[in-house]
Structures are given as structure tokens and as C-alpha cells.
């Protein structure tokens, strides 16, 4: 069967009762393959135009190219733009040329067809036992709020929500990073529960003492903060993102754990990995700033480096607690008078982390991009956010008013509970891998 004008893919399948395998014939036009024996040497020249990745806001990031392996099990991975599909390796008899240069390919494997949607297992998500997922979550971490394991009903509801979406916007908050040892603010175990008050934008601008306190504590906590690793939830989202299932991922977090997992989200609140001058706008890498702080404060830096910072899941750094923005609480005598902060080498201005402090506004370009995605999506998913900040709440409200399906996975109440129909109370590192492990998340046919 042929496609019409290359837009629809004609398919035909039959079931062999003896082999109990599904054989699928797929007509694929305009693909360029080079065969050596039974392996594919080159990647098809096609892009996934249906789900273009949004332009990055800071530090442009591009996913590395994915190699096409030929492993001992004979599994061939075919890369089509950002879509990845696993099938049994075709033999030379499986390939049939058509008159117009397309190829009629017979694949042997587990593939399901639903009209124009080919359901494909997303690589990297095949966890055979739910126990394996649960074992990767340390339930005694003080940064992670208490929650029962997700039940089967909730897993299925979230699966259906994702499976029915065609233009999905995802918003993540601090709750996705608590399993990595980075606390949130508002949960029962969060920073606010111990009386912590984060620095405000006005304090940072107008108080040199506040700046010394912030940078001293941030310098002290930087090593622990950057040692945190992405969780199973970060990895699951990166898998969906690479498969073209997410139109735009927005994060309130400043920790860059999504990037380390392989995603490139819109960082609506910025990142602590960049330092910016509030006077001239010059920005540079935080690691350079760390070196400058160390050079200006050698004795103080040496004392910090000699301390045991513990592991990312502990709270024993200086006997105090890690904070959500990467700093730790330390005694005033460490920073009150002697701690020296470098200034901008271009204009001698004040340097701050490129984050949106409390009381500041989200930059217009980021806010506009996030709002545009929220209004055009057909599904909006919140993961690990209470939505208490207006910059986050207005996004899901806009999606709801535009008629999009909405869902929240968060431990505890949120600001949008009154109008969001699907609310799941679960740890993200437990539920997201189980959702992907249920089966295939449908991907529109090419």
C-alpha cells in the first residue's frame, strides 16, 4: 500500500499464530539507508517537524547525536530525528524497494498500531520490576516529603493523560529535586519549616551585608549542591522529551538537573550556574566566580574545603542544612566582616546569580515563551510544584482557560487544586518510571 502525497503512511500487519510475533509492514518514503550486511550504517535523513524543540533561553544546549548500535542481541535502533524506536534487526530479505524510491520494511518485534498512531516503546524506560524503581528512592532522606507509593490507579490515570496529549507542556518545581538531596521551600520538610527566609531581590541590591551573607553561604554549599545527581524522574522526563512527546518543558528550578539528565528546559527562574552583573548585564560561568571567591578569601576557603560536606542526601554540612538555592546556613563569624566579593571586571558593578530572587520579576522573554506554550498546548502537567508563585500559577491557569487538559503530581496542596481535575499525591521518582514502564507512549506517525 502506498501513502498519499507522503503525508499518510500505509500499513498492513498480520499475526503468525505459531511464532506469536507481530509482523509489521511500513512504507517509509524519502529515507536514505546504507546497508552493510544486516546493519544500518547511516541515520535516515528526516527530522521530526511535528514537535520542534523550543529555542533555549540561556547557554544554548543541544542533545548529542545518538549512535546506532549493533549489539550482541541483534537489536537495531533506528533514529528518526528526535524519535527513537527499537525493533528486531532486519535482514536483507526484509528490505523491498518501491518504484518511488521508498522502502517497504518488514520489522519483527512488539509494535502496536492504532490508526495513524504507531505506539513505540521509549528506550531507556524498560524497568522490569517496580521494586527496582522503589529501591532507587531513599525513603529516609529528610529532603523528601512523606508519601505513600503510587497506586496502580494513579499510574494508569497519569499514563492515559500523557498518552492522549499531542502538544504537552510540562512545568517542574522543587519537588522533582528533593529526591536528589535538594530541599524545597513549602513542604513539611522544606526550608520554611525551620524558619528559613530566602534573600529578597531588594535585600541583595541594597545591602552589602546581605550580599556577603548570600555569597559566603552559597560558596560554602556549592560543592554539595553541584554533586547532586538527576533522579529517576529527571531521567524519565528526558526520555519523553527526546522522543518528541513534550512541546515545552518549563522549570522553576535553578539546579540544572534537567540538563544533566539530557533535557533543555526553559529556566523561568534562571540558574545559579551563571553569574550576571546587575549594572552592565555581563554574564559568565559560576565556576569562574567560585575561583575568584577562593582567590580573594584563601584562608576562609581552605577552612571550608577541609570540612566534611557529607553526601548530597545528608544535612551535615557545617552541622546545618542545605538550602534550595544552593547555599547553606553558617555562623555569622565566617562572613560578617572578612568575606570579600569580587565585582564585575568590566564595569566594577555588583554581581549576582542569574536567578529570579523573591520580589523580582521573571524576564519578559522567558515569561512570554512560557505563556505562549501554555496557551497553545492541549495538555499541561505540573510536577513537584505547589504553584504558590504567580509566575507558575498563571501558566496552568492560562492553559485551563484555553481548554487544555490539566494534571498535577505533587506531595501536598497546590494553588490550582480547585480547578485541576487530576491531582496525584506521589513521589515523582516513583510514579514517572512506572508510567513509562506500563507500555508505549503513543507517538504520532511520521
Residues making up the annotated binding site for Zn(2+) are: 277, 280, 344, 347
- Among the listed residues 269, 309, 345, 400, the single catalytic one is 269
Task: Please tell me the distance from the alpha carbon of residue 432 to that of residue 426, in angstroms, as a whole number.
Answer: 10
Known binding residues = 252-255, 277, 280, 344, 347, 384-386, 410-412, 428
> With contact defined as beta carbons under 8 Å apart, do 351 and 277 qualify?
yes
Task: Please tell me the distance from the alpha carbon of residue 266 to that of residue 60, in angstroms, as a whole number.
Answer: 11
Q: Please provide the DSSP assignment of 134-148 as one string.
A: HHTS-TT-TTSPP-P
Closest CA relative to residue 90, chosen from 108, 77, 67? 108
Encode 347-367 in three state secondary structure: CCCCEEEEECCECCCCCHHHH
Using a 10 angstrom Cβ sphere, with 0-12 exposed, 13-18 middle and 19 or more buried, the burial of residue 416 is: buried
What 3-state DSSP class applies to 158? helix
Kindly list the strands in the beta sheet with 21-28, ordered across the sheet, starting from the edge strand earlier in the chain: 11-16, 21-28, 103-108, 95-97
What's 231's DSSP letter? -
Q: Please provide the DSSP assignment of 51-83 as one string.
A: SPPPPPSSS---PPPPP--B-TT-EEEEEETTE
Annotation says 269 is catalytic: yes
Annotated active-site positions, please? Answer: 269
Amino acid at each position: 500500500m502506498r501513502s498519499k502525497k507522503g503525508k499518510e503512511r500505509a500499513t498492513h500487519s498480520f499475526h503468525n499464530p505459531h511464532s506469536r510475533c507481530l509482523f509489521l509492514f511500513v512504507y517509509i518514503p524519502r529515507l536514505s539507508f546504507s546497508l552493510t550486511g544486516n546493519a544500518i550504517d547511516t541515520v535516515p535523513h528526516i527530522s521530526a517537524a511535528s514537535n520542534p524543540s523550543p529555542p533555549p533561553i540561556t547557554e544554548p544546549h543541544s542533545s548529542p547525536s545518538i549512535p546506532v548500535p549493533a549489539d550482541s542481541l541483534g537489536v537495531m535502533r533506528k533514529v528518526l530525528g528526535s524519535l527513537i524506536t527499537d525493533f528486531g534487526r532486519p535482514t536483507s530479505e526484509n528490505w523491498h524497494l518501491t518504484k518511488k524510491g521508498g522502502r517497504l520494511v518488514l520489522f519483527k518485534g512488539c509494535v502496536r498500531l492504532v490508526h495513524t498512531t504507531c505506539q513505540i516503546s521509549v528506550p531507556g524506560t524498560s524497568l522490569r520490576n517496580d521494586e527496582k524503581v522503589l529501591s532507587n528512592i531513599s525513603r529516609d532522606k529528610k529532603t523528601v516529603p512523606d508519601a505513600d507509593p503510587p497506586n496502580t490507579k494513579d499510574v494508569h490515570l497519569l499514563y492515559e493523560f500523557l498518552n492522549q496529549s499531542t502538544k504537552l507542556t510540562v512545568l517542574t518545581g522543587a519537588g522533582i529535586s528533593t529526591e536528589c538531596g535538594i530541599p524545597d521551600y513549602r513542604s513539611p520538610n522544606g526550608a520554611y519549616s525551620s524558619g528559613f527566609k530566602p534573600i529578597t531581590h531588594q535585600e541583595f541590591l541594597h545591602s552589602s551585608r546581605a550580599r556577603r551573607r548570600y555569597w559566603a553561604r552559597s560558596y560554602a554549599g556549592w560543592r554539595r549542591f553541584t554533586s547532586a545527581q538527576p533522579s529517576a524522574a529527571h531521567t524519565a522526563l528526558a526520555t519523553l522529551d527526546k522522543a518528541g512527546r513534550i512541546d515545552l518543558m518549563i522549570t522553576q528550578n535553578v539546579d540544572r538537573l534537567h540538563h544533566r539528565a539530557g533535557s533543555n528546559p526553559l529556566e523561568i527562574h534562571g540558574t545559579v550556574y551563571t553569574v550576571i552583573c546587575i549594572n552592565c548585564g555581563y554574564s559568565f560561568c559560576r565556576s569562574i566566580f567560585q575561583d575568584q571567591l577562593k582567590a580573594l578569601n584563601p584562608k576562609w576557603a581552605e577552612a571550608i574545603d577541609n570540612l566534611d560536606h557529607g553526601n548530597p542526601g545528608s544535612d551535615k554540612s557545617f552541622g546545618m542544612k542545605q538550602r534550595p538555592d544552593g547555599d547553606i546556613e553558617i555562623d555569622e563569624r565566617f562572613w560578617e566582616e572578612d568575606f570579600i566579593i569580587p565585582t564585575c571586571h568590566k564595569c566594577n558593578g555588583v554581581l549576582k546569580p542569574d536567578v529570579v530572587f523573591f520580589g523580582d520579576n521573571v524576564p519578559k522573554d522567558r515569561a512570554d515563551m512560557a505563556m505562549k506554550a501554555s496557551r497553545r498546548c492541549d495538555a499541561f502537567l505540573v510536577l513537584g510544584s505547589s504553584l504558590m508563585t504567580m509566575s507558575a500559577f498563571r501558566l496552568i491557569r492560562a492553559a485551563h482557560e484555553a481548554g487544555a487538559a490539566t494534571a498535577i503530581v505533587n506531595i501536598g496542596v497546590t494553588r490550582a487544586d480547585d480547578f485541576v481535575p487530576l491531582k496525584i499525591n506521589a513521589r515523582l521518582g516513583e510514579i514517572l518510571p512506572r508510567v513509562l514502564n506500563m507500555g508505549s507512549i503513543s507517538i504520532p506517525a511520521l
